[in-house]
Amino acid sequence: MIAANLLKVALKAMNNNKMRCFLTMLGVIIGVGAVIAMLAIGQGSKNSIKAQISEMGSNMIMIFPGSENRGGVRQSASDMQTLKPADYEALSREAQGILYMTPTVNGSGQWIYGNNNYPSQAQGVNTQYLDIRQRTVSEGEMFTEEDVRNAAKVCVLGKTLVENLFPDGTDPIGKVVRFGKIPMTVIGVLDEKGYNTMGQDQDDLALVPYTTVMKRVLASDYLQGIQASAVDENRTQETISEITDILRDQHRLREDQDSDFTIRSMQELAEMISSTSSMMTVLLAAVAGISLLVGGIGIMNIMIVSVTERTREIGLRMSIGATGRDIMMQFLIEAVILSVTGGILGILIGALATWMISIFANWPVAISTTSVVLSFAVCTIIGIVFGFYPAAKASRLDPIEAIRYE
């Protein structure tokens, strides 16, 4: 009952000072807006990484040449030439935990057909690539094991390449296109996948036997990597140590020598990326949180001024029977209204900013209910905490002294 009266009193006092109230709230509005937008960006990128990983298959294992990059020491070109086709063969002979496996060697250059050309890559892989990446050939056929053995000049094109090289809709199957100077026969077209969650075009690729890329494009004896999928995604770690043993054996490394290759599993990668992105989120939220704190201090500042200004009013209220508690409640209510209204406006503005970021910058965003509830709770607490000192100060005034205050 009294609380309702005090609410009215507080609202009236604020109504008398609209501009000042708004400016005071601005700190909280900006703080909360920033918190909401930052957390939305963080959450959005986390979600998209998760989606990407499940798209790629969480049982994937990638092997790269070169030892693990420690402390940012630059690795020379020769360090990066440690994986050979023989390693791949050894793995396919001996590794029990591997289901599918393909070497990878990429050459970049122009794809040309007639007057049309398109800059892209020739991804050198074997036939198992399709199984690892869960792709299919929608027209024509995939190249065969035999094509790989012979380093045949054949290719399977993605939809984007087909559209750019054959803009008039000609059937590409059987046509001879060139990759740089090397003529290749199109024997198949990959299924269309569109853009992935990171905004990459998954149809902008051409598959070529890896032997062809090694011999005819790059003239190199080395692989750029090996991709494999584990038989059991829960035993990825064991498969990794199996691969490590085989490759160290293959490279004749002594016990005390570091491995000259790096193995990453998709799971590991996922954890790494998501831990970096959580760290970023925490950092962003901390910055935003500081601005929220500044907003709270702004509230405290204005409340102190307001208590001083209204000393006579407080004295009068007390002299006609308001208790210290009534006065305290009045100013606390005022502070909480300021911070909570600021919080609500901040949430709206944060949501608006998030929406604009997703529209104009095309970033993945996701406003979580937790961040909204949390900001709301934090605002209420900020109002109480920062309003407490001025309110307590007001409640301790002596009525007769306060009423004489000039």
Partner 1 sequence: MKEIIKIVDLKRYFKVGEETVKALRGVSFTIHEGEFVTIMGTSGSGKSTLLNTLGCLDTPTSGEYLLDGISVQKMGKNERAKIRNRKIGFIFQNYNLLPKTTAMENVELPLIYNPTVSAKERAERAERCLRDVGLGERLYHKSNQMSGGQQQRVAIARALVNNPVIILADEATGNLDTRTSFSILTLFQRLHREGKTIIFVTHNPDLALYSSRNIMLRDGRITSDEYNHNIQSAEEALRALPKDMDE
Which spans of this chain sit near partner 1 (rule: CB under 8 A)? 1-2, 5-6, 9, 16, 312-313, 316-326, 399-400, 403
Nearer Cβ to partner 1 (9/122): 9
Q: How many other β-carbons are positioned within 10 Å of the β-carbon of residue 30?
A: 20
Nearer Cβ to partner 1 (201/326): 326
Nearer Cβ to partner 1 (99/403): 403
Nearer Cβ to partner 1 (364/399): 399
Q: How many angstroms separate the CA atoms of 279 and 378, rounded? A: 21
Q: Least separation, in Å, of the C-beta of 24 and partner 1?
A: 20
Q: Least separation, in Å, of the C-beta of 35 and partner 1?
A: 37
Q: How many other β-carbons are positioned within 10 Å of the β-carbon of residue 16?
A: 9
Q: Least separation, in Å, of the C-beta of 315 and partner 1?
A: 8
Q: How many angstroms separate the CA atoms of 79 and 331, rounded? A: 69
Rounded (10°) CA dihedral 341, 347, 348, 354: 160
Beta strands in 246-347 (DSSP E): 261-265
Nearer Cβ to partner 1 (1/219): 1
Q: Least separation, in Å, of the C-beta of 308 and partner 1?
A: 16
CA nearest neighbour of 379 among 24, 125, 119, 7: 24
Nearer Cβ to partner 1 (322/345): 322
Which residues, 6 or more positions from 247, have their beta carbon under 8 angstroms from its beta carbon? 63, 87, 90, 91, 259, 261
Q: Least separation, in Å, of the C-beta of 321 and partner 1?
A: 2
Q: How many angstroms separate the CA atoms of 46 and 274, rounded? A: 6
Q: Least separation, in Å, of the C-beta of 332 and partner 1?
A: 16
DSSP state of 111: E
Nearer Cβ to partner 1 (14/49): 14
Q: 156 - beta bridge partners?
A: 188, 207
Q: How many angstroms separate the CA atoms of 104 and 92, rounded? A: 15
Q: Least separation, in Å, of the C-beta of 323 and partner 1?
A: 4
Q: How many angstroms separate the CA atoms of 383 and 385, rounded? A: 6
Q: 108 - beta bridge partners?
A: 121
